[in-house]
Structure 1
Amino acid sequence: MSVNIDDEAPTFAPSLLVPNVQEMVKKNYLHVPKRYMRNQEEMEKVNYMPHLSCEIPIIDLSLLSNGNMEELLKLDIACKEWGFFQIVNHGVERELMQRMMEVADEFFKLPIEEKDKYAMPSNDIQGYGHAYVVSEEQTLDWSDALILIINPVRYRKLQFWPKFPEGFKEIIEAYSSEVKRAGTELLSSLSVIMELEKHTLVELHKEVLQALRVNYYPPCNTPEQVLGLSPHSDTSTITLLMQNDDVPGLELRHKGNWIPVTPIPDALVVNIGDIIEIWSNGKYKSVEHRAVTNKNKRRTSHASFLFPRDDVEVEPFDHMIDAQNPKMYKNVRYGDYLRQSMKRKMEGKTHTDVARIIKERVIEAQQI
């Protein structure tokens, strides 16, 4: 089913109702329910490599957008080797970023009775609550979230947009507009390094789907036993994240190790989503990442996702396929891929199997 201009706001995926973590912490900070606890194997602390954080690429978006060859080469290496990078000089004003963080913090300070007015419905992901909860046995994440569709405007469900604090809606719109601009500039540069016409990826996002997820991670008495967000890769084209300058928590998987993404003041963290991996035939990888908690401080992060339309057909570009690089992914309709992924719990990159050509066929292609 394709989406046209007359369609109502779509739904995405159901999620089971689970407790509010922030309220649990308020009532009893010392108690961590078993359903949130993970064993040492799941936490993978043995693979923790904080010293590699300084190697995560930093890219100047102003240089990149002007076609600077050195910066384009840095972007190519970042996408091939890391799947993550931080952008500076992106043009999003510091005051706007700060105000976005402040109003989000004010929202999470509201009484639960007020926040529950915007509770996520059982059949969708817009609103306040938890997404990706698909079974009663599932280990839960130590976080709450506010998820909103920003663009296209007709997809907004304004009943889930908080009326308090005052001006929250206007600040979300202003911030999201600037992030969308920065994201569109990145799509143009990604087109260039993928040897496409500069506007190819922007054209494939002519009516971009943009979502905002504000994550709230309360402190935890046993942070070594819980995860704020389970390991996963993003189903987006790209994701742009604003995180607290003073509270780290985001970690990415690099060569089997977990590496913290140390916050840089005023920078945005960017990661490549599954769709760039598919379009590039695996040259650029969407990378697993997770969020950890700490004992003393709450943390918030603001993830902006840019997606294609539901009816865009996604598969590797022809020039990304040759005898040495056989086709790794089949053609998928993006809306189908997105919803099938959302109906599963976050579990690494297992959801990408929906688009992946079975290994045996890849091996056969390499032998021809």
Structure 2
Amino acid sequence: MSTLPIIDIAPFLTRESQQDEDKRAAASSALYDACVNYGFFYLNIAAFVDPSEPEELTKLAREFFALPQEEKDKLALRNEDHARGYARLKENVTNGKADNHEGLDFYRPVENPDKSKPLWGENQWPTVPGFEEKFKRWVEKMKILGLIVMEAMADGLRMTPDEWKDLRSQVDDSFWVMRVIGYPPLPNDHDGFSCGAHKDYGCLTFLHADPTPSALQVFLARPGLVQSESSDLPKEQGSEEGVWINADPIPGCVVCNIGEMWEIWTNGLYRSTLHRVVHRGSNYRVSIPFFFEPNFDAVVKPLAAARRINACSEHTDVAKEHKSVVYGEFLVAKVGNNFDGKGKYDN
């Protein structure tokens, strides 16, 4: 329980033999178990992308964050739709407290941009040489990866071909989000976290981070298990019993977690998991999360395959019917929290 499971993406990249199918089935089953028991896992993507590629993105991110503040402010969120662009250190808020990080946010481009409408502006790209080109290339690869993982998850839920086809139609034009985040060391007197505890509200998160250890922490809900408090950190999990574990980077892997849309799709069988960043090291940490989300107009509702599993599940808390949502409306409400003093991860 001290570490997250590792799922290799390789079996989902080929279907040439029965052996491939067997490996695919085993990996789909492992993916299902990871979603039920953790909500977080490592995804080994070494067979999908060259490890040097995300390392190059980290280098480009450092070049941007090292620019003078006035240069970074030229890409300020206020220039566009208050969602796309640069947020200064402590400008992002989680659980009512300023987060000790700065970041660049990008969203799927839209037709007929109008920066007066929430989420409907244009992305603001740094002038750092190679930044826009290489990050756009990463976006395209992560969109492909998103569909690969979605199909693997459909296999794990034993969805029929028609059921998978319907689910795919809800994510085949993903309203993706990408953040490039810089974390200076957390000051001892800072009243908050590098990033406060939250659950992702979308579909799938693929996180590449530099090698900094002991920064990303994941809360594993385990009834009856209470972690002894060995630090001055507040109990952001409230009264829920369980433990916080580190999700340190593993070479060749991204950290993957599921968002609230999967809670709805599985009617509570899968759960989005609390996580936070507490960077007390001496270095400047960089992370690049890519959020593979449903289509903007997708109607997200419990899946028939999940209902079949829930009908014979020992979990008594999956009987509650989850309400359907239109993803775009849900997203606008979340991001709109940034305008009224709350954070986009707040309820």
TM score, norm. by length of structure 1: 0.73
1:227 aligns with 2:193: yes
Q: Which residue of the other structure, out of 324, 331, 353, is the alignment partner of 2:324?
A: 331
1:58 aligns with 2:15: no
Aligned partner letter, 1:125: A
Q: Which residue of the other structure, out of 160, 165, 187, is the alignment partner of 2:124?
A: 160
Give the C-alpha shift of residue 204 in structure 1: 1.2
SS in 1 for 2:36: helix
- Which residue number in structure 1 is paired with residue 250 of structure 2? 264
Q: Deviations over 1:259-286 (max 9, x none)?
A: 1102101211110111111101111111
1:94 aligns with 2:51: yes
Give the C-alpha shift of residue 153 in structure 1: 8.0
Q: Deviations over 1:164-198 (max 9, x none)?
A: x1111001111111122212110111111122234
The 5 A counterparts of 1:1-368 are 52-54=1-3, 56-66=4-14, 67=21, 68-88=24-44, 89-121=46-78, 123-129=81-87, 133=93, 138-151=96-109, 157-158=121-122, 160-163=124-127, 165-196=128-159, 197=161, 198-222=164-188, 226-255=192-221, 256-321=242-307, 325-344=318-337, 345-346=342-343, 351=347
Aligned partner letter, 1:211: V
Aligned partner letter, 2:264: I
Residues 65, 189 of structure 1: 8 Å contact kept: no
Structure 2 gap ranges (5+): 15-20, 114-119, 222-241, 313-317
Aligned partner letter, 1:144: E
Aligned partner letter, 1:241: L
Q: Whole-Å Cα distance in 2 between the matches of residues 276 and 191 of structure 1?
A: 11
Give the C-alpha shift of residue 158 in structure 1: 4.9
Aligned partner letter, 1:116: D
Q: Whole-Å Cα distance in 2 between the matches of residues 127 and 302 of structure 1?
A: 14
Q: Whole-Å Cα distance in 2 between the matches of residues 199 and 318 of structure 1?
A: 13
Aligned partner letter, 1:277: E
Q: Whole-Å Cα distance in 2 between the matches of residues 159 and 194 of structure 1?
A: 36
Aligned partner letter, 2:254: L
Higher helix share: 1
Q: Whole-Å Cα distance in 2 between the matches of residues 75 and 81 of structure 1?
A: 10
Residues 152, 208 of structure 1: 8 Å contact kept: no
Aligned partner letter, 1:177: E
Q: Deviations over 1:332-363 (max 9, x none)?
A: 11112112223344597x63xxxxxxxxxxxx
Give the C-alpha shift of residue 304 in structure 1: 0.3
Structure 1 gap ranges (5+): 1-51, 352-368
Structure 1 pair 157/101, CA: closer, same or farther in 2 (3 Å)? Answer: farther
Structure 1 pair 134/201, CA: closer, same or farther in 2 (3 Å)? Answer: same
Q: Deviations over 1:26-70 (max 9, x none)?
A: xxxxxxxxxxxxxxxxxxxxxxxxxx433x110110124444222
Give the C-alpha shift of residue 157 in structure 1: 5.0
TM score, norm. by length of structure 2: 0.77
